[in-house]
Structure 1
Amino acid sequence: MRYLLAVLLLVCTYSCFSAKGLPIKEVKAPKTTETETENTNSTSNTSTTEALLDHSSWDALLKIYVAKNGDVDYKGFQSDAQKLDEYINYLASKVPTNNWSLNEQLAYFINVYNANTIKLIIDNYPTKSIKDISNPWMKNRLKIGDEDFSLADIENGILRKMNEPRIHFAINCASYSCPKLLNTAYTADNVQELMERATKEFINNSEKNKLSAMQPKLSEIFKWYKSDFTENGSLIDYINQYAETKISADANIDYIDYDWNLNEQN
């Protein structure tokens, strides 16, 4: 039997720390079982609740205000703030239940994180960096049902506990060095395909990672969250699954300083 995280928003306690040393809420979720499938990453692993979750309004906003390279028109988002707020409120009203599939949960929480990050920026716009905003990740800024959450809670307390390292390339922190924000909303139908695409694009983006056989320079994402990428092998093993330029097992890895400047469309 395969266990799926049925992320019910129940008892939350500050008891663990993120890769950057920040306290986060630990979301305690019961487990439910589902018959194993031959391919757990299949894009056909959709939820019976798919018809109840409509991400089309978010998809429309992304297609208008996010460029193909991931740069964001925050001024444009500001002009459509009401539509963004309506989508965020819609997400808040859809509390996950234990009959949601893993794909539905992943899509839901990725969209929750990305939409609320955009809201954080436009609520404080103009700003040069998300880090110029007071307590951007730890302050409770969003609701799901009756529970208050921070962005760190969603990332570290929920998404990272799904044992899916590709989420790091799906969520966006509104900064130049982040994996790009896709201009397509995640859904239960496309989440596996889009996470795979985002991971491959980020790893092979020469502005984010400098790949070479012996002296690669990697994004600090791989340093901060190394444990997420090494559950089934080394960090190099993980990267080489996607890298067009393979890294040698005995390579000397260095890291590129993170650029927190806003990923704003010129």
Structure 2
Amino acid sequence: MKNIISLLTVVFFIASCNSQKNIVEENPNPKEVIVSQPVMTKAVKATPSNTLEVPKETENNLEKPMEEKPTEEIVIQASVPVIETSSKIDHSSFDQLLQKYVTNDGHVDYAGLKKERKKLSSYINLIKNNAPDDSWSKNDLLAYYMNAYNVMTIDLILRNYPKESIKDIKNPWEQRFWQIGDKWINLEDIEHKILRKMDDPRIHFGINCASFSCPPLLNEAFIADKVDTQLDQLAVQFVNDTKRNSIAADRVEISNIFKWFKKDFTKEGDIINFLNKYSKVQINDNARVRYMEYNWNLNK
């Protein structure tokens, strides 16, 4: 009997020890669970597509910088603005020559320009190879043909330089040295058949006949975007130029240009009405009008 009791005691002790071991293995230290379980949940949880799911708070943090900082493409567009112009042709090469060899009051360094014949000829070829079409605006046409007239006049002088006057050249306005497209053209064609038919009398202040009494040659090229402003500035400059016009309230002695092209200047009133648009002196309606002798000496 003693033996049976002793055996049962040993069995009970062994069973008790195994039970304690299982309890320990199935229930690790609670402190370890608190530390490790949140990490495993957030790091390993996967979506059905086997891609890691980004926690909600992390998504919010990623979206915020995208809203505040533009993409690289937008930054580039903002930092490098596009300069737009309506001009159909690039007049910059002629502009550079004018700025270099024409003074603010219109005196032309023909000797200097003669050394730049290649650049001048290159621009004349640009004019030739870019003939206007029906898509061109009036301002494009004004800029194109006034620049063409002026560069061809300069070229005419250089072909015959040195001369004291453009009138020393035989039939200067009838010479056909230049082309626009496939048509040979002269200065008379541009002035009378094209520019005057555009019904803007200010063109007479924009084109230059290489003479002292002409409106001074502008020392920049005409461009479509600002040709209207350029012509207004030239009109004010010429009308109030005391070397070429003398204006008082009761009398005016003005350039023969106003006489030769009177029809152009009087479409909306008489010559006094036109002058008063630009004159700094208000001219009386009954003021006496006379015309000055024209000086054809070269504008050098």
- Give TM class, smaller chain: 0.7 to 0.9
Paired residue for 1:190? 226
1:130 matched to 2:177: no
Please tell me the residue identity of whatever aligns with 1:189: D
Deviation at 1:241, TM superposition (A): 0.6
Residues 51-83 of structure 1 show CA distances to partners (whole Å, capped at 9, x for unaligned) of: x41000000000110001100000000000110
Within-5 A mapping of 1:101-120: 101-120=137-156
Residues 169-215 of structure 1 show CA distances to partners (whole Å, capped at 9, x for unaligned) of: 00000000000111110011110010000010000000010001222
Aligned residues: 216
% same residue: 48
Deviation at 1:148, TM superposition (A): 1.0
1:239 matched to 2:275: yes
Within-5 A mapping of 1:27-66: 47=86, 50=87, 52-66=88-102
Deviation at 1:102, TM superposition (A): 0.5
Which one is further off, 139-148 or 124-133? 139-148
Q: Do the aligned residues in 2 keep the contact of 1:226 with 1:235 (CA within 8 Å)?
A: yes
Paired residue for 1:81? 117
1:147 matched to 2:193: no
Q: For structure 1, list consecutive stretches of 5 or more residues without a partner in the other structure.
A: 1-45
| Structure 2 SS opposite 1:137 | helix
Please tell me the residue identity of whatever aligns with 1:205: D
Paired residue for 1:8? none
User: Greater relative contact order: 1 or 2 (C-alpha under 8 angstroms, separation 6 or more)?
Assistant: 1
1:202 matched to 2:225: no
- Cα distance in 2, alignment partners of residues 181 and 55 from structure 1: 16
Please tell me the residue identity of whatever aligns with 2:299: N
- Cα distance in 1, alignment partners of residues 222 and 198 from structure 2: 16
**TM score, norm. by length of structure 1:** 0.80
Deviation at 1:141, TM superposition (A): 2.4
Deviation at 1:229, TM superposition (A): 0.6
Paired residue for 1:31? none
| Structure 2 SS opposite 1:257 | coil
Q: Do the aligned residues in 2 keep the contact of 1:211 with 1:246 (CA within 8 Å)?
A: no
1:214 matched to 2:250: yes
- Cα distance in 2, alignment partners of residues 174 and 199 from structure 1: 18
- Cα distance in 2, alignment partners of residues 60 and 67 from structure 1: 13
Q: Do the aligned residues in 2 keep the contact of 1:204 with 1:244 (CA within 8 Å)?
A: yes
1:91 matched to 2:127: yes
| Structure 1 SS opposite 2:173 | coil
Please tell me the residue identity of whatever aligns with 1:246: Q
- Aligned-pair RMSD on alpha carbons? 0.9
From the two aligned structures, give the one with the greater helix fraction. 2
- Cα distance in 2, alignment partners of residues 184 and 175 from structure 1: 18
- Cα distance in 2, alignment partners of residues 140 and 81 from structure 1: 18
1:163 matched to 2:199: yes
| Structure 2 SS opposite 1:205 | coil
- Cα distance in 2, alignment partners of residues 133 and 181 from structure 1: 20
| Structure 1 SS opposite 2:126 | helix
Paired residue for 1:259? 295
- Cα distance in 1, alignment partners of residues 282 and 204 from structure 2: 21
From the two aligned structures, give the one with the greater strand fraction. 1
Larger Rg: 2
Deviation at 1:139, TM superposition (A): 2.2
Q: For structure 2, list consecutive stretches of 5 or more residues without a partner in the other structure.
A: 1-84
**TM score, norm. by length of structure 2:** 0.71
- Cα distance in 1, alignment partners of residues 288 and 89 from structure 2: 45
Which runs of at least 4 in structure 1 moved beyond 6 Å after TM superposition?
A: none
Please tell me the residue identity of whatever aligns with 1:136: P
